Each structure stands twice: as structure tokens, then as C-alpha cells.
Amino acid sequence: MAILRLVLGASLGVLAGGVIGQIITGDWLYIIVWSIALGAAVLTGIVVTTRFARSLAGSGGASPATPRWQWIAAGVLVVIGLGAAGTPAIVALTSGRLDDPITGTHQRVAVNGIASAAGTGTVTELDFFPDFVLADIVNPPGRSTVDEWTYQFGRAENTGAEVVQPQDIPGSSFDMASIDLKQVIADIPAAEKLARMTSPTDVHVGVRRDTEDDGNQPTVSVFLTDKYHDATVVFDLSGKVLHRFGTAFD
């Protein structure tokens, strides 16, 4: 019975850690960390505070009261286990893993994370989705090819070469640091108002240079979709509306 309780207790900790890790980040690495840490914390608490270790050793007779040092040791080990499990959540909160790139406040964290990992902030396109940020990075030093980078769960990752390489990389590239991201995010409610969409089912924001129009300056395109219509509103970097497209404006 003692062994069964130990197994059940540890399993409950592992299950709880896995569920919490999935809810908080969805990242397999953090799910494993949470599962092991919470499982170890629960197991340690059961072994020390309920004297199961003595039972497993096969000692007979009445069990004496648990010594104070065991309670202290149990508390320390449980705190360490819970701390190991809680650290990913703290890091997630501070790094933007829980923050929607569309409506949140960590857009600059994502952009800087990609630029730092890629070694450059020069891009041909920058896109914000509800779950991640995507950038088409111009590869240094030759600047003749473009790779796609994503930022998700607090990490920037090179996902490979862009399928369609731009024909005019110098003419279509820009520095991500030059974009006022607060204005980019402010363009979203402005686009929703223009399209008369109060609850769009899909939102996507893209920043790119228009080499054929708008003076070859970076523009911000807000793409909206609801159950009945779609809309695209293009802004300049100051928030001025340049174009409107889609069935919402028909």
C-alpha cells in the first residue's frame, strides 16, 4: 500500500506538472521540467512527512513521531521542487511567452530576440500573429538571401530559407528597429473600426516595403476576418490610412 501511494502521489505530481506546463507554454522542454520537478516535490513530501521511508525499510512496531529535521528537509526539498517548476512560469511571464503578439506588450522583446539570434535586424517582411512573430531576415554578410525566423515561447528560431526569395533584396529590406511597434499595434483597433468588425475571428499584421507604390516606404497592413467578411487596411508608419481592400468595404 505504501508503494502504491508513492507511485500514485508521484504520478499526480508529474501529471499536474505536465498539464501546467502545457497550459503555460506548450513547450515540450518546459513540460518535462515541470513534470519532473512537481513529481519530485510531491514524492519527497510523501516520503518524509508521512514516514513511508520507514515503512519501505520494513521496520516493525509503532512508528515514532517524525523528527523535526525531517520536516525541515521535506520543506526545503519541496520548495526546491516547486521553485524548479515555477521558474519557467516566471521566465515565461517576463519574456512574453504568455503575451499575445497582436494585443500584448512584448512585440519589441520578440523583434529584439530575433535580431539578436539572427545577428541582424534587416528584414524584408515582419509579421505578427496571435501566437508568434515571423520575420524574413536578410542574411549577413552577403545580404543576397533571406531566411524565415520565428519567435515563440520566448525563443527565436531559424525555420529555414524563405520559399520565394525576393528579387530586389536591397530595395525591399528595412531595419526592424526603425518601426514604431506601438503605432503598429495601435493600427489594429483603427482597422477594426474602419471595417466595422467588433470581434474579428482572425487578425494578422504585416510590415513590408511597397516597391511599387507608397514611395517605397515600409507600410503596415492589418488583415481582418470575421464570419462574413474580410478586410485589409494599409497604414503608413504614422498611422495614416493609405488603402482599404476586402468585402467589408464593398
pLDDT at 42: 76
Q: Which residue has the higher pLDDT, 98 or 180?
A: 180
φ, ψ for residue 45 (rounded to 5)? -60, -40
End-to-end CA distance of the chain: 71
pLDDT at 51: 61
Q: Where is the domain boundary, 75, 95, 115? A: 95
Same domain, 125 and 138: yes
Same domain, 37 and 87: yes
Same domain, 73 and 8: yes
Q: In percent, how much of the chain has pLDDT > 90?
A: 42
Same domain, 141 and 195: no
Same domain, 91 and 7: yes
pLDDT tens-digit map of 91-133: 666 666 667 778 777 888 899 999 999 999 999 999 999 889 9
Lowest-confidence segment of 55-59, 65-69, 169-173 by average pLDDT: 55-59
Compute the radius of gyration of the chain from its Cα atoms: 26
Same domain, 171 and 185: no
pLDDT at 233: 96
Q: Tell whether the model's pLDDT for residue 48 goes beyond 90.
A: no
Helix 2-24, helix 28-49: angle, nearest 10: 150
pLDDT tens-digit map of 194-243: 999 988 999 999 999 875 665 678 999 999 999 999 999 999 999 999 99
SS3 119: coil
- Report d(CA 225, CA 137) in Å as an integer: 27
Average model confidence (pLDDT) across the chain: 81
CATH number of the domain encompassing residue 244:
3.10.450
- Report d(CA 13, CA 217) in Å as an integer: 54
Same domain, 214 and 234: yes
Q: Give the domain extent around 211.
A: 179-250
pLDDT at 123: 96
Same domain, 209 and 184: yes
The domain tally of the chain equals 3
pLDDT at 155: 84
Q: Where is the domain boundary, 32, 63, 95? A: 95
Q: In percent, how much of the chain has pLDDT > 70?
A: 72
Distances in whole angstroms, Cα of residue 188 to Cα of each of 178, 230, 238: 19, 14, 13
pLDDT at 45: 73
Same domain, 6 and 78: yes
pLDDT at 36: 79
Same domain, 121 and 49: no
Region 26-37: what's the mean pLDDT? 72
Same domain, 52 and 67: yes
pLDDT at 126: 97
Lowest-confidence segment of 52-61, 67-76, 177-186 by average pLDDT: 52-61
Q: Which long-range contacts (CB under 8 A, 24 or more apart) does 36-39 make?
A: 36/84, 37/81, 37/82, 37/84, 37/85, 38/13, 38/14, 38/81, 38/82, 38/85, 39/10, 39/11, 39/13, 39/14
Quick one: pLDDT band at residue 28, thresholds 50, 70, 90? low
